Structure 1
Amino acid sequence: MGECGCGRSPNGKCIGWHGLSEEEYQEKLKEYVENNKGTD
């Protein structure tokens, strides 16, 4: 439930990234990584 099978979600949950183009995906991923730095 809520699992992502497309391999694009950084947290294992589907957040809708499978509909993005490769370029958009890279942007989102970069953004996500920036936003989640130091939250370990």
Structure 2
Amino acid sequence: MSLFDFRINTFYQNIILTIAIKFISSHGIVTPPSTDIV
């Protein structure tokens, strides 16, 4: 796996995390963003 692929994977992971957090927050369940995935 090249560094470029890793950056793209991290980029999409951040997008998915952000969408998931917004989705959960909009349903009244607020969870702190997990930093152990980074």
Task: Give TM-score scaled by structure 2 length.
Answer: 0.45
The higher radius of gyration belongs to: 2
Higher helix share: 2
